[in-house]
Structure 1
Amino acid sequence: MARLAVGQTKVYELMSSGELRSVKVGRSRRVPSNELERFMAELDDSRPNLRLPAPRGSTARAS
């Protein structure tokens, strides 16, 4: 969730739709790091103008 800057509900939606593959470990779902990298790379390729949110704690403000 933190790496994608989205909430838990969105991550579960992405997993349910098959856009983000996960594995089940016990009763938990985990997203392998290589899968997360693949997903993020596809976002970059399909949405070149997509801007990532500013890092938390950033003090930059619009004037």
Structure 2
Amino acid sequence: MDDGGSTGSTALLLDIEEAGERLGISRSQMFRVLGAGQLRSVKIGRLRRIPVAALREYVAQLEAQAADDASIPRRPERPTVAERNSGSRFAKRGTP
């Protein structure tokens, strides 16, 4: 039976650490995400809480962004140093 505590899996609001655990990121990264305005939060007195619904929205936003990024054509990869030097005077040449 749920005691209504914030640590229950049915809690509607999570503290920073709990929200980070659910996302699989650190407390510091959670503060970066919040500071950048990428994730909604609410204040209750002096406490900062993350609505579970906001976590779902954030993950959906990340998934949509990943799908958009996958559709953007990538520029060709840069040649490696060895490939760039293969025609230079420093490249090893076969013996005559």
Q: TM (normalized to structure 2)?
A: 0.47
Amino acid at match of 1:21: R
Structure 1 residue 25: Cα displacement: 1.2
Task: Return the index of the structure with the highest Cα Rg.
Answer: 2
- Choose the corresponding residue for 2:32, options 3, 13, 20: 13
Deviations 1:10-52 (A, max 9, x none): 111111111011001121111111111000011111124xxxx
Structure 2 residue runs without a partner (length 5+): 1-19, 68-96
Query: % of aligned pairs identical?
Result: 33
Return the alpha-carbon distance in structure 1 between the equivalents of residues 46 and 52 of structure 2.
19
More helix by share: 2
Specify the alignment match of 2:66 in structure 1.
47
- Choose the corresponding residue for 1:23, options 28, 42, 47: 42
The structure 1 segments of at least 4 consecutive aligned residues displaced by more than 4 Å after TM superposition are: none
Between the two proteins, the alignment pairs up a number of residues equal to 49
Q: TM (normalized to structure 1)?
A: 0.68
Return the alpha-carbon distance in structure 1 between the equivalents of residues 37 and 65 of structure 2.
17
Alpha-carbon RMSD: 1.6
Structure 1 residue runs without a partner (length 5+): 49-63
